[in-house]
Structure 1
Amino acid sequence: MDKGDAEKLNIARKVAGHLAGQVAGLLFPPQCAGCHRAVADPGTLCGQCWSRLRFIERPYCTVMGTPFSHDLGENFLSAEAIADPPPFRRARAAVIHDGVPKRMVVWLKYHDQTNLAPWMARWILRAGSELIADSDVIVPVPLHPFRFWSRRFNQAAELARALARLADKPFEPEALRRVKRTRQQVGLAASERQRNVSGAFRVPPEHEIKISGRNVLLIDDVYTTGATVKAATRALLRAHAASVDVLTFSRVLGETINSE
């Protein structure tokens, strides 16, 4: 194939892609990711849903990422970070887990709306730019094989895959495994959550090379009490990770923890 033919083929492919996109838009018009109202572009929110978002911005605890109501000074730590220091280095989340973000997580997690993952990952990218820059590898919190089989996908892995693509970072979905079949965390108190996930994660020996000596960015959909990501972090540190940071799409505030 000469240069002229290659250029014609490239143009034909672009035209075909454009036409396919137009047909898809007619058959499946874009809907608001928060309420399913019609919107102009896929993955966007309507004005009403956008106005209700609560992004987590500074000031917040430099370790836990817990938002403060007012600025308490540089490097000020929350009571939780002081009383019960986590095994991970830092945690951040994009939005408060209520309203639209909560519905987005439910649609992604339980209703197979994996098309939301790339758009949610964009918010995560914005919230965790510092953590992403310091990371060597991105690892999702895994599902137990039984739950993965019943659900057919891992929502944390979908978010992590999209984030790794946006950030141009290595993505290692097999580096951490859930080896203990646990109860659903929803409705459990903080102490019950900790017992539930204790010893639930392990880095397989054949994958330790992907973790050892590296700064790991651990991805999950929601940070509630932190029991799951703390247990996962400990497994990564046992495999000699240099450090672990945690990045999630949303964060549950204290008053709603037991209902999430």
Structure 2
Amino acid sequence: MSEFVRRWLGAAVRAGAGAVLPSACALCGGDADAPVCTSCARQFVHGDGARCRCCANPLGAADAGHLCGACLAEVPSYDATVAAADYASPLDQLVLRLKFGGALALAPWCAGALARAVLAAPGFAPPELLCPVPLGPARLAERGYNQALEIARPLSKLLGIALYPALTVRPRDTPAQSSVAPGQRKKNMRHAFLVAPDMLTLVRGRHIGVVDDVMTSGHTLNALAATLKRFGAARVSNMVFARTPPH
């Protein structure tokens, strides 16, 4: 059995166990019939507050529906972003458990929160197809799964939008953005992505929805959007579970 298959099976078993055994809320530890109890969901995942319609950073109420100063100064390659929540305590620990701890049972819950945010986003045009942010080959083999794909699968079903897991590829492993100095993150993502050759006809002239767990600086999503547009995409919209607020 390969190392990749071993890790994937281990993650799947952990996810399945969480689905059939009595569960506790991943945030407060109280009894719950879902990964996160209703009380915590209401407290930490909500649609309150205006966000930039392009990058989903928080805005003042008077600026609702507009672009933030950063997007006005340098227009990103993507056209819109919807985020379900802020990447802040305690949700950040939940995301880390999904991303690095094999807690795959959290992915459908994140997808549900994201689907509600997408459907509630004013003026958001639904994409024609979904694409998860791909992992590099070594990181995928090490982790055994792609957390963006694990969110994208149930999100596709909830929104009724076709998912193409192999639409884009990440042919080489780049250093994790969290390990790179902020000023070098854009450079780190240069030439990181490609559209799969057999998927080119799906991209041309289409509105692509890119799914990820967290959006921090936005450089990864911007690089992927730039690649999709270079290969003919008409529009690219990001759908992320959590957005890191600006510091």
Q: TM-score if structure 2 supplies the norm length?
A: 0.85
Q: Deviations over 1:35-70 (max 9, x none)?
A: 4x24231223263x4464153534222222222233
Q: Pick from 40, 59, 63 the counterpart of residue 68 of structure 1.
A: 59
Quick check: 1:52–1:100 contact (8 Å CA) kept in 2?
Answer: no
Asked if residue 208 in structure 1 is aligned to residue 213 in structure 2, the reply is: no
Which residue number in structure 2 is paired with residue 96 of structure 1? 86
Contact 1:97 1:222 in 2 (8 A): yes
CA distance in 1, matches of 2:207, 2:67: 22
CA distance in 2, matches of 1:236, 1:27: 40
State the Cα deviation string for residues 74-132 of structure 1 (Å, max 9, x = none).
54321111111101111121101111221111010011011111110011111122587
Bigger CA radius of gyration: 1
Q: 2:211 aligns with which of 219, 227, 232?
A: 219
CA 215–39 in structure 1, closer or farther in 2 if over 3 Å, else same: same
Match status 1:105 vs 2:95: yes
Cross-structure match for 2:116: 126
Matches within 5 A, 1:64-213: 64-72=55-63, 75-129=65-119, 130=121, 134-213=126-205
- Structure-1 separation of matches of 2:125 and 2:197: 27
Q: 1:211 to 1:26 in 2, by over 3 A?
A: closer
Residues 248/80 of structure 1: CA separation in 2 closer, same or farther (3 Å cut): same
Structure 2 segments unaligned to the other structure (5+ residues)? 1-16
Give the Cα separation in 2 of the matches to 1:25 and 1:116. 9
- Which residue type is aligned with residue 106 of structure 2? L
Q: Give the letter aligned to residue 227 of structure 2.
A: A
**Residue 33 (structure 1) aligns with:** 26
Q: Which moved more, 1:121-130 or 1:224-233?
A: 121-130
Give the percent of matched residue pairs that are identical in Structure 1 and Structure 2.
30
Q: CA RMSD in A?
A: 2.1
Aligned residue pairs total: 229
**Pair 187,144 (structure 1): closer, same or farther in 2 beyond 3 Å:** closer
Seen in structure 2, the aligned counterparts of structure 1 residues 152 and 78 have a Cα distance that, compared at 3 Å, is same
Tell me, yes or no, if the aligned pair for 1:59 and 1:70 is still in contact at 8 Å.
yes
| Greater strand content | 2
Poorly superposed stretches of 4+, deviation over 6 Å: 24-27
**AA aligned opposite 1:64:** C
CA distance in 2, matches of 1:139, 1:230: 14
- Between the aligned partners of 2:237 and 2:113, the Cα distance in structure 1 is 17
Deviation at 1:236, TM superposition (A): 0.7
Q: Taking structure 1 as the reference length, what is the TM-score of the superposition?
A: 0.81
